[in-house]
Chains A and B, each alone.
Chain A
Amino acid sequence: MAEVELSDVTRTFGRTSALSNVSMTVPDGAFFVLLGPTGAGKTTTLRLVAGLDRPDSGALRIGGTAVTNLTPAQRNVAMVFQQYSLYPHMTVRENLAFPLKSPLLRTPQDQIDRKVQEVAETLQISHKLDNRATALSGGEMQRVSIGRALVRNPAVYLMDEPLSSLDAKLRADLRVELKNIQARTGATFLYVTHDQIEAMTMATHVGVLDHGRLVQTGPPREIYEDPVSIYAASRLGQPRINILPADLFAGAPSGAKSIGLRPEQIHQGEGEESSVVRVEHLGDQTRLYLSLRNHDLVTVTDAHTPLQSGDIVKIRPERPFYFDASGARIH
């Protein structure tokens, strides 16, 4: 396992800049999650670390070794692709054994068998080992694809939305399993996801990418509780943070354009009067959709709330975030 370091990495495709001057360090043993919408540069970052793509400028180091000019094989990384990329002419077993048989590892057959069996059991695909890779369901393919990375013991695991096509239960199982593997082996993970829960539960570090720029890095709690901008604040939290005009409530600092309120930053029972638009009972919590002077906001309330649409709820901000006109945070 090893530390991954990007310094001043830039990559452009034609006229569009996919990454600009990104510097970041994935510490040894970290579970580093990259967040950002489509086109933010997450996948590009993974491909650059993997060696499938070369940066226009900047340098990459894995475990202290400069790898910018090395081939993917020389970098000793494992990657899970978003589109599975299983070898269609091979069985599941052959797919899983393929990395172990590479000239890089040349694993003895008995070890291959053991390792493949072990990973297949972890991922609940042992009964499909002799199936053709193309004769699997989407979820099974995705698990084989994860398995193909897990059979190895690489410097770093790169995963591009590996759980995105699984059903909810399996996703939850594998989330725990991946986290266990990471905790047990001390493996370094660089992980791309859209899923807030994955980011919050698995990550030791989060990096927020915005149009190819790394805008904030830190532990998930820090990103959540101390975001640097509206953009970073919007990446985490379910329901999403409410962004409202700052003058809606009294007490905004000068220069503040917007106020950011996470559900728990909305104190109910005193302050401005807002009307309940919709009530969603989710079981463990209830979501309230409120309207405050023609501005919509969402918050969370008691699971057994008697509130109904049309009721009036008084709310006031509690330690809110303020942002200036450019979206940057004001302290």
Chain B
Amino acid sequence: MSGYSVTEPSRGQKWIAGILVAGYALITILPLVWIIATGFKSSADSIAYPPKLLFQPTLEGYVNLFTTQTRQTTEYLNANPPQTWYERIVHDRGLVIAGPSRFGERFMNSVIIGFGSTFLSVFLGTLAAYAFSRFKVPLKDDLLFFVLSTRMMPPIAVAIPIFLMFRSLGLSDTHAGMILLYTAVNLSLAVWLLKGFIDEIPVEYEEAALIDGYTRFQAFYKVVLPQAATGIASTAIFCLIFAWNEYAFAVLLTSGTAQTAPPFIPTIIGVGGQDWPAVAAGATIFLLPVMVFTILLRKHLLRGITFGAVRK
């Protein structure tokens, strides 16, 4: 190092910053690592004290998560040797698999409702944001405030009216009902976020497209949308995270057919004692879609979150 720079941090500063960031990363990632590790522990290892850092990994938790089991007599177990690896795992504990659990179904419900409402929020949000951004809408400011105000009330305050409304409309415990509900909640966020992004796209591009022989909608589709990709991606992630993690409405409004994973996962605890590996396995699988979705869109997301911070 020679000389002194105002903008470039010194070696010592870089080390301190590095240690702070690494320490913070460790603190945030640790619970996640613990959940993932617990998913691969045996029941006994999962509640061992002091906690085991090194253990014999097993898929017991995952098998328990996806199946229901019954206890059988030794004669029965001996007469019916296990056919597959997962039958063997339960067989060793004196059990046989009775059938699939409801987790797969609940997980699929989460996927349908989460991604369905995300798509709908972003689709409607983009169109509304474009209109608010580009056209003379009567009472524009009041409408935008109204859109935002739908988010001001805590969800639990409107839970009872929504519950009653859903019951009389026949939307209780349906996929359509949950998609509509999450879309309604997410839409205000989507409209506001996307309006900000679309406002930043100069209107001249659309004017050039109009002159080049395209209609207003074609200009929107071919010129505005590609440039709003960043905003659309980050909005989609925010919407998905909300819809995916939502718990209160899911508990209240779903039970049999449309129940999502968040209210289901805690119920696993009750089945056959405190089965922490199965809960952890459920949590791990539940984490994956949002993680994958975020990683797929991360290039856009990073630009999206810092969007507007630097003016060219």
Interface set of A (CB-CB < 8 Å, partner B): 50-52, 71-73, 76-79, 81, 83, 85, 87-89, 98-99, 102-105, 148
Question: Which residue among A72, A76, A87, A105 has the maximum number of chain B CB atoms within 10 Å of its CB?
Answer: A72
- Which of these binds chain A: B58-66, B126-134, B174-182, B206-214? B206-214
Inter-chain contacts of A103 with B (CB < 8 A) = 213-215, 218
- Show 30 A/B contacts (Cβ-Cβ < 8 Å), sorted by A: A50-B211, A51-B210, A52-B207, A52-B210, A71-B210, A71-B215, A71-B216, A72-B207, A73-B210, A73-B211, A73-B212, A76-B213, A78-B211, A81-B207, A83-B202, A83-B204, A85-B204, A85-B205, A87-B205, A87-B208, A87-B209, A88-B227, A89-B226, A89-B227, A99-B212, A102-B213, A103-B213, A104-B214, A148-B208, A148-B212
Q: Closest CB of chain B to A135's CB: distance in Å?
A: 14
Closest chain A residue to B229, Cβ basis: A89
Q: Closest CB of chain B to A149's CB: distance in Å?
A: 9
Given contacts A72-B207, A89-B227, 19 further A-B contacts (CB under 8 A): A50-B211, A51-B210, A73-B214, A78-B211, A78-B212, A79-B208, A81-B208, A85-B205, A87-B208, A88-B205, A88-B227, A99-B212, A99-B213, A102-B214, A103-B215, A103-B218, A104-B213, A104-B214, A105-B213
CA distance in complex: A101, B202 (Å)? 22
Interface set of B (CB-CB < 8 Å, partner A): 202, 204-205, 207-216, 218, 223, 226-227
CA distance in complex: A88, B224 (Å)? 10
Inter-chain contacts of B223 with A (CB < 8 A) = 87
Inter-chain contacts of B209 with A (CB < 8 A) = 87, 98
CA distance in complex: A51, B210 (Å)? 9
A73→B215 contact, CB < 8 A: yes
Closest chain A residue to B227, Cβ basis: A89
Indicate whether A77 sits within 8 Å of B214 (C-beta atoms), given known contacts A83-B204, A87-B223: no
| Majority-rule SS of B interface residues | helix
B204→A81 contact, CB < 8 A: yes
Inter-chain contacts of A77 with B (CB < 8 A) = 211
CA distance in complex: A104, B219 (Å)? 13
Inter-chain contacts of A102 with B (CB < 8 A) = 212-214, 218
Inter-chain contacts of A51 with B (CB < 8 A) = 210
Closest chain A residue to B210, Cβ basis: A72
Inter-chain contacts of A78 with B (CB < 8 A) = 211-212
Q: Closest CB of chain A to B54's CB: distance in Å?
A: 51
Inter-chain contacts of B213 with A (CB < 8 A) = 73, 76, 99, 102-105
Q: Closest CB of chain B to A107's CB: distance in Å?
A: 10
| Majority-rule SS of A interface residues | loop
Q: Closest CB of chain A to B158's CB: distance in Å?
A: 41
Inter-chain contacts of B227 with A (CB < 8 A) = 88-89
CA distance in complex: A88, B209 (Å)? 12
Inter-chain contacts of A81 with B (CB < 8 A) = 204, 207-208
CA distance in complex: A72, B227 (Å)? 22
Inter-chain contacts of A72 with B (CB < 8 A) = 207, 210-211
A85→B208 contact, CB < 8 A: yes
Closest chain A residue to B208, Cβ basis: A85
CA distance in complex: A77, B213 (Å)? 9
CA distance in complex: A50, B209 (Å)? 12
Closest chain A residue to B216, Cβ basis: A71
Q: Closest CB of chain A to B203's CB: distance in Å?
A: 9
CA distance in complex: A87, B205 (Å)? 6
Question: What are the nearest 5 A-B pairs in CB distance?
Answer: A102-B213, A104-B213, A99-B212, A85-B204, A72-B210
Inter-chain contacts of A79 with B (CB < 8 A) = 208, 211
Inter-chain contacts of B212 with A (CB < 8 A) = 73, 78, 98-99, 102, 148
Inter-chain contacts of A85 with B (CB < 8 A) = 202, 204-205, 207-208
Q: Closest CB of chain B to A12's CB: distance in Å?
A: 16
Q: Closest CB of chain A to B310's CB: distance in Å?
A: 15
CA distance in complex: A124, B227 (Å)? 28
CA distance in complex: A243, B151 (Å)? 66
CA distance in complex: A81, B212 (Å)? 12
CA distance in complex: A87, B207 (Å)? 11
Inter-chain contacts of A50 with B (CB < 8 A) = 207, 211
Closest chain B residue to A158, Cβ basis: B211
CA distance in complex: A77, B223 (Å)? 19
Inter-chain contacts of B211 with A (CB < 8 A) = 50, 52, 72-73, 77-79
CA distance in complex: A85, B215 (Å)? 17
CA distance in complex: A124, B204 (Å)? 25
Closest chain B residue to A105, Cβ basis: B213
Inter-chain contacts of B215 with A (CB < 8 A) = 71, 73, 103
CA distance in complex: A78, B207 (Å)? 11
Inter-chain contacts of B205 with A (CB < 8 A) = 85, 87-88
Q: Closest CB of chain A to B229's CB: distance in Å?
A: 8
Closest chain A residue to B218, Cβ basis: A103
